Amino acid sequence: MRDSKRPSRPIASRHCDDPRIDYKDAAYLSKFVTPQAQILSRKRTGFCTQCQRQLKQAIKRARHLALMPFVG
């Protein structure tokens, strides 16, 4: 029986040092937000600290330029 509290599989387990983290690539960034457009946690994305920070910054820049929504 599967433990319901067990975290689901991270989306990006091998995406660290990925040059694709760019605010212009909204299609890629949209994989790391919830349907309500909230940024996923590090546990869920699988990014390291630095990459998660880059992801957060890129999503916020994309939101500023209306490439991504603030609210889904």
Residue 41 or 57: which CB sits closer to other proteins? 57
Q: Do 20 and 58 touch, CB atoms closer than 8 A?
A: no
Residue 24 or 43: which CB sits closer to other proteins? 24
Q: How far apart are CA 53 and CA 46, in angstroms?
A: 12
Residue 16 or 37: which CB sits closer to other proteins? 37
**Smallest gap, in angstroms, from Cβ of residue 58 to other proteins?**
11
Of the candidates 50, 30, 52, the one whose C-alpha atom is nearest the C-alpha of residue 42 is 52
Catalog residues that contact other proteins under the rule CB under 8 A: 23-24, 61, 63-70
